[in-house]
Amino acid sequence: MTEQDEGRKGALDRGLSILNHLADACEASTGELAAAADISRSAAYRIVEKLSHYDFLHATTNGRWRLGPAAARLAMAAVHSTDVADVAPELLRVLVQQTRETVSLGVLSGDEMVFIYRERGPQSVSVNAELGARRPLHATSVGKAYLSGLDRRERADLLRTLPLTPFTPQTLTAVEELEDDIAKARSRGWTEEHGEFDLASACCGAPIFDHTGRVVAAISVAGLKDRVEPALNRLGPLAAATADAVSRRLGYNPSPTSAERIR
Protein backbone atom coordinates (compact mmCIF):
# COMPACT_ATOMS: atom_id res chain seq x y z
CA MET A 1 0.00 0.00 0.00
CA THR A 2 1.37 3.43 -0.94
CA GLU A 3 1.65 6.35 1.49
CA GLN A 4 -1.07 8.10 -0.52
CA ASP A 5 -3.40 5.10 -0.12
CA GLU A 6 -2.67 4.97 3.60
CA GLY A 7 -3.49 8.66 3.85
CA ARG A 8 -6.94 7.98 2.45
CA LYS A 9 -7.44 5.24 5.01
CA GLY A 10 -7.91 7.06 8.30
CA ALA A 11 -6.09 6.16 11.48
CA LEU A 12 -9.37 5.10 13.08
CA ASP A 13 -10.07 2.66 10.21
CA ARG A 14 -6.58 1.19 10.53
CA GLY A 15 -6.83 0.89 14.29
CA LEU A 16 -10.23 -0.80 14.07
CA SER A 17 -8.89 -3.23 11.45
CA ILE A 18 -6.14 -4.23 13.87
CA LEU A 19 -8.55 -4.67 16.78
CA ASN A 20 -10.99 -6.67 14.66
CA HIS A 21 -8.20 -8.95 13.46
CA LEU A 22 -7.08 -9.65 17.02
CA ALA A 23 -10.67 -10.36 18.06
CA ASP A 24 -10.55 -13.37 15.71
CA ALA A 25 -6.85 -14.29 15.79
CA CYS A 26 -6.35 -13.87 19.57
CA GLU A 27 -2.72 -12.82 19.05
CA ALA A 28 -0.49 -11.63 16.21
CA SER A 29 2.85 -10.06 15.43
CA THR A 30 3.13 -6.46 14.24
CA GLY A 31 3.89 -7.72 10.73
CA GLU A 32 0.75 -9.86 10.73
CA LEU A 33 -1.30 -6.89 11.92
CA ALA A 34 0.13 -4.76 9.12
CA ALA A 35 -0.91 -7.38 6.57
CA ALA A 36 -4.37 -7.78 8.09
CA ALA A 37 -4.99 -4.00 8.03
CA ASP A 38 -3.35 -3.65 4.58
CA ILE A 39 -0.91 -1.00 5.79
CA SER A 40 2.87 -0.64 5.91
CA ARG A 41 4.89 -1.99 8.82
CA SER A 42 5.90 1.51 9.85
CA ALA A 43 2.24 2.60 10.02
CA ALA A 44 1.36 -0.58 11.94
CA TYR A 45 4.13 0.10 14.49
CA ARG A 46 2.80 3.63 15.08
CA ILE A 47 -0.78 2.48 15.55
CA VAL A 48 0.21 -0.48 17.73
CA GLU A 49 2.27 1.80 19.96
CA LYS A 50 -0.69 4.17 20.38
CA LEU A 51 -3.17 1.37 21.07
CA SER A 52 -0.78 -0.16 23.55
CA HIS A 53 -0.36 3.18 25.33
CA TYR A 54 -4.11 3.31 25.95
CA ASP A 55 -4.26 -0.39 27.00
CA PHE A 56 -6.20 -1.54 23.94
CA LEU A 57 -3.29 -3.87 23.13
CA HIS A 58 -1.10 -5.93 25.42
CA ALA A 59 2.33 -7.36 24.51
CA THR A 60 2.87 -11.05 25.26
CA THR A 61 6.15 -12.47 26.56
CA ASN A 62 7.07 -13.65 23.05
CA GLY A 63 6.65 -10.19 21.51
CA ARG A 64 3.24 -10.70 19.99
CA TRP A 65 0.09 -8.67 20.61
CA ARG A 66 -3.24 -9.43 22.24
CA LEU A 67 -6.27 -7.32 23.06
CA GLY A 68 -5.71 -5.39 26.27
CA PRO A 69 -7.87 -4.49 29.27
CA ALA A 70 -9.34 -1.38 27.64
CA ALA A 71 -10.71 -3.54 24.79
CA ALA A 72 -12.13 -5.97 27.35
CA ARG A 73 -13.87 -3.13 29.19
CA LEU A 74 -15.47 -1.94 25.95
CA ALA A 75 -16.59 -5.46 25.08
CA MET A 76 -18.22 -5.95 28.47
CA ALA A 77 -19.85 -2.53 28.29
CA ALA A 78 -21.32 -3.44 24.91
CA VAL A 79 -22.68 -6.70 26.27
CA HIS A 80 -24.21 -5.11 29.36
CA SER A 81 -25.76 -2.29 27.34
CA THR A 82 -27.66 -4.88 25.29
CA ASP A 83 -31.08 -5.23 26.84
CA VAL A 84 -31.31 -8.94 26.12
CA ALA A 85 -28.16 -9.55 28.16
CA ASP A 86 -29.87 -7.93 31.13
CA VAL A 87 -33.23 -9.71 31.03
CA ALA A 88 -32.35 -13.17 29.69
CA PRO A 89 -30.01 -14.78 32.30
CA GLU A 90 -32.67 -15.19 35.01
CA LEU A 91 -34.93 -17.09 32.60
CA LEU A 92 -32.06 -19.05 31.09
CA ARG A 93 -31.00 -20.31 34.52
CA VAL A 94 -34.51 -21.70 34.93
CA LEU A 95 -34.17 -23.38 31.53
CA VAL A 96 -30.94 -25.04 32.69
CA GLN A 97 -32.80 -26.46 35.69
CA GLN A 98 -35.63 -27.67 33.45
CA THR A 99 -33.45 -29.30 30.82
CA ARG A 100 -30.28 -30.15 32.77
CA GLU A 101 -28.37 -29.33 29.59
CA THR A 102 -26.08 -26.47 28.53
CA VAL A 103 -28.06 -23.32 27.72
CA SER A 104 -26.63 -20.48 25.63
CA LEU A 105 -27.62 -17.00 24.49
CA GLY A 106 -26.14 -15.77 21.22
CA VAL A 107 -26.20 -12.56 19.22
CA LEU A 108 -25.21 -11.95 15.61
CA SER A 109 -21.62 -10.89 15.00
CA GLY A 110 -20.78 -10.59 11.31
CA ASP A 111 -22.05 -13.80 9.76
CA GLU A 112 -21.74 -15.87 12.96
CA MET A 113 -23.40 -16.09 16.35
CA VAL A 114 -21.33 -15.24 19.41
CA PHE A 115 -22.32 -16.53 22.84
CA ILE A 116 -22.74 -13.75 25.38
CA TYR A 117 -24.17 -16.04 28.06
CA ARG A 118 -23.63 -19.76 28.63
CA GLU A 119 -24.43 -21.99 31.58
CA ARG A 120 -23.37 -25.58 31.67
CA GLY A 121 -25.96 -28.17 32.60
CA PRO A 122 -25.56 -30.42 35.66
CA GLN A 123 -25.26 -33.63 33.64
CA SER A 124 -22.07 -35.58 34.32
CA VAL A 125 -20.97 -35.05 30.71
CA SER A 126 -22.10 -31.95 28.80
CA VAL A 127 -21.02 -29.78 25.89
CA ASN A 128 -18.30 -27.15 26.24
CA ALA A 129 -19.63 -23.94 27.79
CA GLU A 130 -17.03 -21.43 26.65
CA LEU A 131 -18.29 -17.84 26.82
CA GLY A 132 -17.54 -15.84 23.70
CA ALA A 133 -17.44 -18.88 21.42
CA ARG A 134 -18.57 -18.24 17.85
CA ARG A 135 -20.88 -20.53 15.91
CA PRO A 136 -21.93 -20.64 12.23
CA LEU A 137 -25.48 -19.65 11.35
CA HIS A 138 -26.25 -22.59 9.08
CA ALA A 139 -24.87 -25.47 11.16
CA THR A 140 -26.16 -24.78 14.67
CA SER A 141 -29.56 -24.55 16.33
CA VAL A 142 -28.75 -21.08 17.70
CA GLY A 143 -27.75 -19.87 14.25
CA LYS A 144 -30.75 -21.37 12.51
CA ALA A 145 -32.98 -19.91 15.23
CA TYR A 146 -31.67 -16.45 14.41
CA LEU A 147 -32.20 -17.08 10.70
CA SER A 148 -35.76 -18.24 11.39
CA GLY A 149 -36.52 -14.92 13.05
CA LEU A 150 -35.54 -12.84 10.02
CA ASP A 151 -38.13 -11.83 7.47
CA ARG A 152 -38.02 -13.68 4.16
CA ARG A 153 -36.08 -10.99 2.27
CA GLU A 154 -33.46 -10.47 5.00
CA ARG A 155 -32.94 -14.21 5.29
CA ALA A 156 -32.62 -14.66 1.52
CA ASP A 157 -30.12 -11.80 1.30
CA LEU A 158 -28.02 -13.25 4.11
CA LEU A 159 -28.10 -16.80 2.78
CA ARG A 160 -26.83 -15.62 -0.60
CA THR A 161 -23.56 -14.46 0.99
CA LEU A 162 -23.27 -17.00 3.80
CA PRO A 163 -20.38 -19.49 3.49
CA LEU A 164 -22.15 -22.85 3.95
CA THR A 165 -19.05 -24.63 5.21
CA PRO A 166 -19.48 -28.38 5.86
CA PHE A 167 -18.40 -29.11 9.44
CA THR A 168 -19.67 -32.71 9.48
CA PRO A 169 -21.36 -35.00 6.96
CA GLN A 170 -24.67 -33.84 8.47
CA THR A 171 -24.15 -30.12 7.74
CA LEU A 172 -26.70 -28.56 5.41
CA THR A 173 -24.67 -26.98 2.61
CA ALA A 174 -27.41 -26.09 0.11
CA VAL A 175 -29.57 -22.98 0.49
CA GLU A 176 -32.68 -24.96 -0.47
CA GLU A 177 -32.02 -27.54 2.27
CA LEU A 178 -31.46 -24.82 4.82
CA GLU A 179 -34.61 -22.92 3.84
CA ASP A 180 -36.64 -26.15 4.11
CA ASP A 181 -35.16 -26.88 7.53
CA ILE A 182 -35.99 -23.36 8.73
CA ALA A 183 -39.55 -23.63 7.39
CA LYS A 184 -40.04 -26.83 9.39
CA ALA A 185 -38.58 -25.14 12.46
CA ARG A 186 -40.96 -22.20 12.16
CA SER A 187 -43.89 -24.56 11.88
CA ARG A 188 -42.65 -26.66 14.81
CA GLY A 189 -41.71 -23.69 16.99
CA TRP A 190 -38.00 -24.43 17.50
CA THR A 191 -34.89 -25.29 15.49
CA GLU A 192 -32.93 -28.51 15.75
CA GLU A 193 -29.34 -29.50 15.08
CA HIS A 194 -28.44 -33.15 14.64
CA GLY A 195 -24.65 -33.41 14.65
CA GLU A 196 -24.33 -30.69 12.01
CA PHE A 197 -21.55 -28.76 13.79
CA ASP A 198 -20.30 -31.45 16.16
CA LEU A 199 -21.16 -35.08 15.48
CA ALA A 200 -21.31 -35.83 19.20
CA SER A 201 -23.92 -33.19 20.07
CA ALA A 202 -27.54 -32.29 19.36
CA CYS A 203 -29.31 -29.02 20.10
CA CYS A 204 -32.53 -27.09 19.82
CA GLY A 205 -33.05 -23.32 19.72
CA ALA A 206 -35.44 -20.43 19.34
CA PRO A 207 -35.22 -16.74 18.34
CA ILE A 208 -35.66 -13.71 20.62
CA PHE A 209 -37.42 -10.55 19.40
CA ASP A 210 -37.33 -6.99 20.71
CA HIS A 211 -40.19 -4.52 21.12
CA THR A 212 -40.09 -3.69 17.41
CA GLY A 213 -40.59 -7.32 16.42
CA ARG A 214 -37.05 -7.73 15.09
CA VAL A 215 -34.91 -10.72 15.99
CA VAL A 216 -32.06 -9.63 18.28
CA ALA A 217 -30.73 -12.91 19.68
CA ALA A 218 -31.34 -16.64 19.94
CA ILE A 219 -31.02 -19.31 22.59
CA SER A 220 -30.02 -22.95 22.41
CA VAL A 221 -30.15 -26.05 24.56
CA ALA A 222 -27.27 -28.41 23.79
CA GLY A 223 -25.98 -31.73 25.00
CA LEU A 224 -24.65 -35.11 23.96
CA LYS A 225 -26.46 -36.40 20.90
CA ASP A 226 -27.43 -39.77 22.37
CA ARG A 227 -29.08 -38.03 25.30
CA VAL A 228 -30.61 -34.94 23.66
CA GLU A 229 -31.98 -36.30 20.38
CA PRO A 230 -34.59 -38.58 22.00
CA ALA A 231 -35.69 -35.65 24.21
CA LEU A 232 -36.02 -32.93 21.55
CA ASN A 233 -39.82 -33.04 21.59
CA ARG A 234 -39.61 -32.10 25.27
CA LEU A 235 -36.62 -29.75 25.15
CA GLY A 236 -37.72 -27.84 22.04
CA PRO A 237 -40.96 -26.47 23.54
CA LEU A 238 -39.06 -25.46 26.68
CA ALA A 239 -36.52 -23.52 24.60
CA ALA A 240 -39.30 -21.88 22.58
CA ALA A 241 -41.25 -20.91 25.72
CA THR A 242 -38.13 -19.41 27.31
CA ALA A 243 -37.28 -17.42 24.18
CA ASP A 244 -40.86 -16.14 24.08
CA ALA A 245 -40.64 -15.10 27.75
CA VAL A 246 -37.39 -13.21 27.11
CA SER A 247 -38.95 -11.53 24.06
CA ARG A 248 -41.94 -10.39 26.09
CA ARG A 249 -39.63 -8.90 28.70
CA LEU A 250 -38.07 -6.91 25.86
CA GLY A 251 -41.52 -5.59 24.98
CA TYR A 252 -42.31 -7.97 22.13
CA ASN A 253 -46.01 -8.33 21.50
CA PRO A 254 -46.66 -11.09 18.97
CA SER A 255 -49.47 -10.23 16.59
CA PRO A 256 -50.69 -11.39 13.18
CA THR A 257 -48.83 -8.42 11.67
CA SER A 258 -45.50 -9.28 13.25
CA ALA A 259 -45.94 -12.97 12.53
CA GLU A 260 -46.61 -12.24 8.88
CA ARG A 261 -43.57 -9.95 8.71
CA ILE A 262 -41.10 -12.75 9.45
CA ARG A 263 -42.65 -15.37 7.19
- Can you tell me the mean pLDDT for 235-247? 96
Note the pLDDT of residue 257: 44
**Predicted confidence (pLDDT) at residue 8 exceeds the cutoff of 70:** no
Q: How confident is the model at residue 119 (pLDDT cuts 50, 70, 90)?
A: confident
141 beta partners: none
**Predicted confidence (pLDDT) at residue 237 exceeds the cutoff of 90:** yes
The answer to whether the CB of 34 falls within 8 A of the CB of 44 is yes
What pLDDT digit, counting tens, does each position of 34-53 carry? Answer: 998 999 999 999 999 999 99
Note the pLDDT of residue 6: 47
Note the pLDDT of residue 76: 67
Note the pLDDT of residue 79: 55
Q: How far apart are CA 188 and CA 232, in angstroms?
A: 11
Q: What is this structure's pTM?
A: 0.67
Tell me the C-alpha to C-alpha distance, in Å, between residue 106 and each of 89, 114, 141, 255: 12, 5, 11, 24
Q: Name the CA radius of gyration of the chain, rounded.
A: 20
Q: Which residue has the higher pLDDT, 259 or 219?
A: 219
Note the pLDDT of residue 124: 52
- Can you tell me the mean pLDDT for 204-227? 94
Q: How far apart are CA 15 and CA 200, in angstroms?
A: 40
**Predicted confidence (pLDDT) at residue 172 exceeds the cutoff of 90:** yes
Q: How confident is the model at residue 132 (pLDDT cuts 50, 70, 90)?
A: confident
- Can you tell me the mean pLDDT for 192-220? 94
The percentage of the chain sitting over the pLDDT mark of 90, rounded to a whole number, equals 58
